[in-house]
């Protein structure tokens, strides 16, 4: 079923790239736009495949780390929506707040 949805979205967005003014004003023909779009999709799939099987060797841990964190947050949305929306506005490491406070002190704002 996932493959069918992928193909449906692929066709939809390939068609949309030929209709959006931003892309049509480039002077490229419709087949060229679709080929470039499909090349971009293929590059993304290849990048994902490399990261999945060779992530440690290719030093792609940050991409997959963000992906894993995103999946955790996605599940948190269903299991504990209050905590999910709280996470949008807080820094669990408090590093950002400490750096901001230090910056304020160094610049003499406080």
Segment 16-44 shows an average pLDDT of: 94
pLDDT band at 39 (very low <50, low <70, confident <90, very high): very high
Only one residue has tokens 């939809």, namely 12
State the chain's mean pLDDT as an integer.
83
Q: Are 89 and 78 in contact (CB under 8 A)?
A: no
Q: Count of alpha carbons within 13 Å of 76, Cβ hemisphere only?
A: 13
């Amino acid at each position: 079923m996932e493959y069918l949805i992928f193909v449906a979205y692929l066709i939809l967005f390939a068609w949309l790239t030929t209709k959006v003014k931003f892309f049509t004003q480039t002077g490229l023909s419709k087949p060229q736009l679709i080929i470039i779009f499909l090349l971009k999709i293929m590059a993304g799939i290849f990048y994902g495949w490399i990261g999945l099987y060779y992530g440690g060797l290719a030093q792609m841990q940050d991409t997959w780390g963000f992906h894993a964190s995103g999946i955790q947050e996605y599940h948190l949305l269903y299991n504990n929506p209050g905590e999910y929306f709280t996470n949008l506005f807080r820094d669990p490491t408090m590093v950002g707040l400490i750096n901001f406070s230090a910056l304020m002190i160094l610049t003499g704002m406080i």
